[in-house]
Amino acid sequence: MAAIAAKPRFSFRAPSVIPGFGLALGFTLTYLGFVVLIPLAALLLRSAGLGWGEFWALASDRRVLSALRLSFGASFVAALINAFFGLLIAWVLVRYRFPGRRAIDAVIDLPFALPTAVAGIALTALYAPNGWIGQAFAGSGFIGQFFGPQGIRIAYTPIGIVIALIFISLPFVVRTVQPVLEEIDSEMEQAAATLGANRFQTIFQVILPSVFPALLTGFALALARSIGEYGSVIFIAGNIPYVSEIAPLLIVIRLEEFNYAGATAVAALMLLLSFAMLLVINLIQAWSRRRYGHGA
């Protein structure tokens, strides 16, 4: 009887509707192992065959570096833009009632469902210099004419890459922020107002801190999705080495050379960088949760 009263050192066996901790954990580990861990381990193992010297030679190659810079840079910009506009869209969808709201709400998810190559081809058709939108930005277009005889080229430049990445990662921000916004009572804003806060203070001291962890999660998801994106980007990027060549394309090129080790080295590098970045974002999240006491 006394054994029951003794508190276990780790609270592993918390009561749960799913029976059998051993079975559940065993299943979790096996499943994760086959689906995620073993493939990733195989990847690292294959690049480990290179040895440190070769690995660093590859990692410090200027072409690899510029491709990584482009992949991470464009993803960062796209995720940042999505964080801002995704929040705006989520706000409008949660707070306002207007005809067609449900339809727009459904449209947000389309980038999830669409094969990315289709997205890439469609975007390229629109933003190419002879496409609907591209024409406006070309030298003779109504926007492009203010930017010199060349206008602004969108397709086949890093700008095009950012647009493709915005497209494919938008739902992540909207869908993570939306439920949190729904939970914020508008009475909280009214309370802030009665306490003398102006609109500015209400936004930055009441609403944003509550949404911030969710927004950060959405940002991290959008970023992670963008970094690995291949299908939609290669059609709009132009793929010129050192200018618009993304890291996933470099991996494919190494594979075309039947250079498996080289391909996995770039992949492992991307994996490490992504992991480090997501870790940092997680730490910020943990900090903001402690700071503001809101869960996400």
Partner 1 sequence: MIRQSASAAFLAAAVLWAIPASSQTLLNVSYDPTRELYREFNAAFSAHRQAEGHERVTVRQSHGGSGAQARTVIDGIDADVVTLALEADINAIVEATGKIPENWRTLLPHNSSPYTSTIVFLVRTGNPKGIEDWDDLIRDDVEVITPNPKSSGGARWNYLAAWAYANKAFGNDQEKTREFVRDIYLNVPVLDTAARGATTTFVQRGIGDVLLAWENEAFLAIEELGPDQFEIIVPSVSILAEPPVAVVQANAEAKGTADLARAYLEYLYSPEGQTIAARHYYRPASPELVTDPAELERFPAVELVTIDDEQFGGWARAQPEHFGEGGIFDQIYVPAN
Rounded CA-CA distance 284/292 in Å is 12
According to the binding rule CB under 8 A, does residue 288 interact with partner 1? no
> What is the DSSP track for 21-37?
HHHHHHHHHHHHIIIII
Task: Yes or no: say if 236 and 127 are a contact pair by the CB < 8 Å rule.
Answer: yes
Per CB under 8 A, the list member of 65, 94, 125, 271 interacting with partner 1 is 125
Rounded CA-CA distance 239/61 in Å is 18
CB of 63 to partner 1, least distance (A): 8
Per CB under 8 A, the list member of 47, 90, 111, 129 interacting with partner 1 is 129
Rounded to 5 degrees, φ, ψ at 100 are 85, 5
Could you tell me how many helices (H) and strands (E) the chain has, helices first?
A: 16, 0
CB of 239 to partner 1, least distance (A): 4
Q: CA-CA distances (angstroms) from residue 115 to 98, 201, 203?
A: 30, 42, 37
According to the binding rule CB under 8 A, does residue 57 interact with partner 1? no
Rounded CA-CA distance 200/198 in Å is 5
Selected range binding partner 1 among 42-50, 141-149, 193-201, 234-242, rule: CB under 8 A: 234-242
Task: Yes or no: say if 168 and 228 are a contact pair by the CB < 8 Å rule.
Answer: no
Rounded CA-CA distance 187/86 in Å is 23
Per CB under 8 A, the list member of 15, 258, 293, 295 interacting with partner 1 is 258
According to the binding rule CB under 8 A, does residue 144 interact with partner 1? no
Selected range binding partner 1 among 1-9, 74-82, 97-105, 256-264, rule: CB under 8 A: 256-264
Q: Please, which residue, 156 or 219, has the CB nearer to partner 1?
A: 156
Per CB under 8 A, the list member of 84, 112, 142, 242 interacting with partner 1 is 242
According to the binding rule CB under 8 A, does residue 111 interact with partner 1? no
Which residues of the chain form contacts with partner 1 (CB under 8 A)? 31, 62-63, 121, 124-125, 128-131, 155-156, 234-235, 238-242, 249, 252-259, 262
